[in-house]
Amino acid sequence: MKQNILMAVLAAGMLVLAGCGGGGGFSQKDIDEAKEEGKEEGKNSVVQRECREGTMESRDGAGCEDDPGYMSPADTAAMADKLWKAIGENPLGLATADGNNQSGVTVSATTGNPLVHRGGAGGSPVELPKDGDAMVEELAGWLGSRHTDKAPDDHGGGTYTAYLYAGVEEPAEGDMFKDLTGFTGGALPSANIMPANVEIPDFTKSAGSQTFHLKDETDEPSKVVLDGRYRGVSGEYACEPATAENGCSVSVAEDGLALSSGDTWIFVPGDEEDRVMDTPDTAYAVFGWWLYEDANDTDTRVSAFTGVTGTTPPVAAAGITALQGTATYSGGAAGKYAILGESTSESGHFTADATLTADFHEDMVSGTIDRFRVGDDGMPMDGWSVALAASGVSDTGGIFGNDGDNTAGTAKMTTWTMDGTDADAGGEWSGTLYYDTAGGDGGVPKVGTGTFHAEYNNIGRMVGAFGVNLDE
């Protein structure tokens, strides 16, 4: 290899010399230096090819260094075994408070954050705040977010993590800013400024408050002026502090950013004829999965959840048994999986597509979870799908049972398929159909959520949740 590189360098040198008429241009010193450079390139090329498993070429190209993202086959197998055991045979049977040290998740009706309940533990449930640094991709129109927090001692210590997907509709253009209630003299006073609509880029806290002081060099030294947006309209927040040296403060509120009440705030839009962004969808359905890992790595739990949140959340359906015809719902699913193979094992989180088909004549609903993507990079698992066996739907939208009256109380099974081969039916699934508002769309529910658990014989386990919308 080194010989080849030297020959290439010498040949290149000869061609250059020839191109220059053979006289001058490159000295013997130039040629010798080129030879040495060729040697070094050859060394680096050999080192790169010889980087052992778990290492990668170093940034300077001079050798190899540890690959921070590498997991050895033994580590991968241990993680898969840990998650396999955590999913268990009945991951959806974790009650919210059963006195047996189990866990479950509901959703806060005010903040929309997951609430972790721990059976047998005293105290209140743990609310998991949104991780503002995490970017979770939208899933079939459902907005994604990551939530995490430390578990208190009465929950066993450790860490809770949840991925939540919310069926929030995109904001739509509304009235001109000048037509907002309270707008007068070119500004909106603090009495009419709602925390949920406040955006101030200079506010950098994830909790608590931040104080902004007066600046003598500004055009208005008696006011604190901050660039921002209100209901999507750009402008300035101006504050006259009650006490000049104390400045004005902004704090994290339950549903947004709160402006200090003892000071005088206004918002001045850049253009009062700009239209605000309406967000009427203050109530919505959610689904997701959650994970608990204790501090000693001896206790791991995982399951899935659904819920509704907001001041007027989606309402239960009514009169479904009187409907006729069919309806199809489409959306997404997410959860955790583990596969234990003879030679290789794998585990992690997944996203997928979800479809429900409702036969209102028979009062039955069936479904499919397919187009699986696994891991942070969304690697497709084209051969995977999970069939949700036909289940009865009740008059109020509950999907849990063998008949339309929903009296059997036995959740229907799932069937996991890999590369065209079906596993034995097992696991379970259930769900709910909702109206987005009273009466739905001509009596037809518009939204559905549910949870599912599937097994692939004795090697695969998964648990997840889904959210779907009526196909228009």
Assess whether 376 and 455 both reside in one domain: yes
Assess whether 397 and 415 both reside in one domain: yes
Assess whether 271 and 296 both reside in one domain: no
Assess whether 438 and 357 both reside in one domain: yes
pLDDT of residue 321: 86
Q: Domain containing 440: what range?
A: 291-470
Assess whether 128 and 190 both reside in one domain: no
Distance CA 9, CA 442 (A): 79
pLDDT of residue 110: 72
Assess whether 217 and 347 both reside in one domain: no
Distance CA 212, CA 201 (A): 13
Which pair of tokens denotes residue 310? 């907001």
Distance CA 323, CA 321 (A): 6
Q: For residue 83, tell me if it sits in a domain.
A: no
β pairing state of 315-316 and 188-189: unpaired
pLDDT of residue 34: 56
Number of domains in the chain: 4
pLDDT of residue 44: 47
Q: For residue 176, tell me if it sits in a domain.
A: yes
Assess whether 178 and 265 both reside in one domain: yes
Q: For residue 82, tell me if it sits in a domain.
A: no
Q: For residue 13, tell me if it sits in a domain.
A: yes
Assess whether 227 and 334 both reside in one domain: no
Assess whether 435 and 301 both reside in one domain: yes
Distance CA 321, CA 55 (A): 61
Q: For residue 39, tell me if it sits in a domain.
A: yes
List Cβ<8 Å contacts ≥24 apart for 89-94: 89/455, 90/453, 91/302, 91/303, 91/304, 91/453, 91/463, 92/303, 92/304, 92/428, 92/430, 92/451, 92/453, 92/463, 94/301, 94/303
Distance CA 186, CA 468 (A): 43
Q: For residue 32, tell me if it sits in a domain.
A: yes
Assess whether 445 and 307 both reside in one domain: yes
Q: Check residue 362 and report its DSSP letter.
A: T
- The domain boundary residue, chosen from 234, 249, 278: 278
Q: For residue 84, tell me if it sits in a domain.
A: no
pLDDT of residue 119: 59
Assess whether 461 and 324 both reside in one domain: yes
Assess whether 118 and 215 both reside in one domain: no
Q: Does pTM top 0.85 for this prediction? A: no
What does each of the 472 residues of the chain score in pLDDT, given as a tens digit? 434 433 443 344 443 334 444 444 556 665 566 556 655 554 444 444 478 877 888 877 778 888 777 777 888 899 999 999 999 998 987 543 333 345 688 888 777 889 988 755 555 788 899 887 888 999 999 999 999 999 887 777 889 999 999 987 666 788 999 999 999 999 999 999 999 889 999 998 878 999 999 987 777 889 999 999 999 899 999 999 999 999 999 999 877 899 999 999 999 999 999 999 865 555 689 999 999 998 887 889 999 999 988 766 678 788 888 999 999 999 999 999 999 988 889 999 999 999 999 999 999 999 999 999 999 899 999 999 999 999 999 888 999 876 444 444 567 899 999 999 999 999 999 999 998 765 566 789 999 999 999 999 999 999 999 999 999 7
